[in-house]
Amino acid sequence: MKLIPRHQAGSAGSGNGQMWLHVRRPNLPWRQASLTECGDVLDDRMPLANRDDVLEQVAAAGMQATTAAGICPACLTAACRWPTFAADPVRAVAREYADRNPRFAAELRALGVLAATHREELDTLLAELADVTDVAEARRRRRR
């Protein structure tokens, strides 16, 4: 656990004197990191807690204790709710839809253009990923 004690946290706060540590939102693979879990734009002075450490703290001590350690409650709720792209790409992308992120539509259009200009590469990659999925499914069926 590497959470910074509340008294060492920086200037971000809830408006009632509480100093919060925010959590960096995990990137979608095509996007540069720019937001906290709670939706603030990151800047160099913003105090941040490590996302994995925060989730570890929640598992060990619960939400209330993690908030008491100075973690932004909105970041905490979002970090617990939304997975990383690596863990669950469908839900990670669903978050963008749920958040009505205006950047998301432009990113999807750009990804569509990339897919169209690299059709053969995309089809090969999709076939490889389908094989991986099929292997996993085949193993599951054999165990039954």
Q: Least separation, in Å, of the C-beta of 122 and Zn ion?
A: 36
In this structure, how many other beta carbons lie within 10 angstroms of the beta carbon of residue 115?
A: 13
- CA distances 104 to 6, 95, 99, 100, 129, Å, are 34, 10, 10, 8, 24
Which residue number, 6 or 108, has a Cβ lying nearer to Zn ion?
6
- DSSP assignment of 14-81 equals -SSS-B-BEEBPPPPTTS---BBTTSPBP-TTS-EE-HHHHHHHHHHH-HHHHHHTTB-HHHHHHHHH
Q: Least separation, in Å, of the C-beta of 87 and Zn ion?
A: 20
Which residue number, 22 or 95, has a Cβ lying nearer to Zn ion?
22
Which residue number, 99 or 108, has a Cβ lying nearer to Zn ion?
99
List interacting residues with Zn ion (CB under 5 A). 22, 36, 38, 72, 74-75
Q: Least separation, in Å, of the C-beta of 139 and Zn ion?
A: 40
Which residue number, 50 or 108, has a Cβ lying nearer to Zn ion?
50
Q: Least separation, in Å, of the C-beta of 75 and Zn ion?
A: 3
